[in-house]
Structure 1
Amino acid sequence: MDYSDKIKHWEDLNIGDSASFTKTMTETDIIIWVGLTGDLNPIHIDKEYSQTTRFKDVLVPGVMVLGLISNAITQATFGNVYANQSIKFLKPVYVGDTITATATIVEKLEAKSMVRLETKCTNQKGELVMIGEGMEYILKD
C-alpha cells in the first residue's frame, strides 16, 4: 500500500495541529480487550462484583481508553513512532460512554526530531476523563 501522500514529515507538523477520534465503548470492546490482554480484573467484567464497589457498575479498562489516544496521535503525526505517554485518569468510563480522544501538538523539539502532544479524553458530557502528554519521534527522510 502506498502511504506517501499521507506520511507527515517534520515540515508538515505545526504547533496547534490537532486530531480527534470518537468511539462509544461497548461490552464487546471489553470482551475483546480481556481476550487480547488477559486482564481479568473483575471491575471490568463482573457486574455483580462491580456493584459492590464505589463505581457501582462495570468500568471500561483505563488503558483501553488510553488506546484511543494512540489513534488521535497517529492521525496528527501519521507515519511516525510513538515515544512515550504520561496519563492521569480523572473519571471512570462506563459501557455506553462516548469518548473523544484528542491529541494536539504543543512543541516541536527539532534537536531530538520529536513533537510533544497534549492528550486528553472527554466523555459525551464534555467531562475530562483522562489527561496527559505524549511524545512522537518524527522519522527522518
Structure 2
Amino acid sequence: MTTVSSFAYDDLSIGQKAQQTKQVTEQDILLFAAVSGDCNPVHLDEQYAATTMFKERIAHGMFSGALISAAIACNLPGPGSIYLGQELTFTRPVKLGDSLTVELEVLEKLPKNRVRIATRVLNQNNEMVVDGVALVLAPKKSTEVNMPSAPQFIQK
C-alpha cells in the first residue's frame, strides 16, 4: 500500500499543480465498456472503427473523465475530497496505447471549502485531448491515507 496525503482547503494555493499519468490499454477499454455499458463499436470493433473519421478504435471520452476523477481523489486535493461537478471539452481522440497525463491546477478558492480546478489531459505528444474545469469540495483537514492497490483483472 502507498500512503497518500490530502491537502486541506486552507493548505491549497492558487496555481498549485499535480499530475498523474496512465497508459491506455486494451483491457482498460474492455473493462470501461463492461462497467459503463457503452459498447459503441468505435471503441470495440476494429473493422467498424476503420470506417469512421478516426480510422481506428478510440477510447471512450469518459475514460479520460475517470482519469481526472482519479487524479483529484488521489492527488489534488486528494483523499477526503468530494467531486461536485465537471465541465469537459474533448479536443482530440484518445487511442489505444496513448500515454495520458492528467494535469490539475488550482484556479480559485471559493466559500465553503469549494475549489475550482483546471483539468487538462495531454497525450504522449503533449497534445491536449481533454480540457475542463472541476468543482471540488476540499477536505477541512489534511490526512494521510493508506491507498489500496487497484484490482487486477486477467483478460480471457
Which residue does 1:42 correspond to in 2? Answer: 41
Identity rate of aligned residues, in percent? 36
Q: Over aligned residues, Cα RMSD in angstroms?
A: 1.7
On the 8 A contact 2:21/2:100 being kept in 1, the answer is: yes
Q: Describe the SS at the equivalent of 2:105.
A: strand
Give the structure-1-normalised TM-score: 0.91
Q: Is the 8 A contact 2:119 2:133 kept in 1?
A: yes
Secondary structure of the 1:112 match is coil
Q: Which has the higher contact order (CA 8 A, sep 6+)?
A: 2
CA distance in 2, matches of 1:37, 1:72: 20
Q: How many residues align?
A: 138
Structure 1 equivalent of residue 122 of structure 2: 122
State the alpha-carbon separation in 2 of the partners of residues 140 and 119 from structure 1.
Answer: 22
* Structure 1: unaligned runs, 5 residues or longer: none
Q: Deviations over 1:70-115 (max 9, x none)?
A: 1222211012101100000000010011110111101001x23200
Alignment of 1:2-21 (within 5 A): 6-21=5-20
**Would the alpha carbon gap of residues 24 and 106 (structure 1) be closer, same or farther in structure 2, given more than 3 Å must change?**
same
Q: C-alpha separation between the residues in 2 aligned to 1:100 and 1:28?
A: 18
Please report how far the alpha carbon of residue 140 of structure 1 lies from its aligned counterpart in structure 2 after TM superposition.
3.8
C-alpha separation in 2, matches of 1:71 and 1:29: 14
Q: Secondary structure at the match of 1:31?
A: helix
Q: Distance in 2 between matches of 1:93 and 1:132?
A: 16
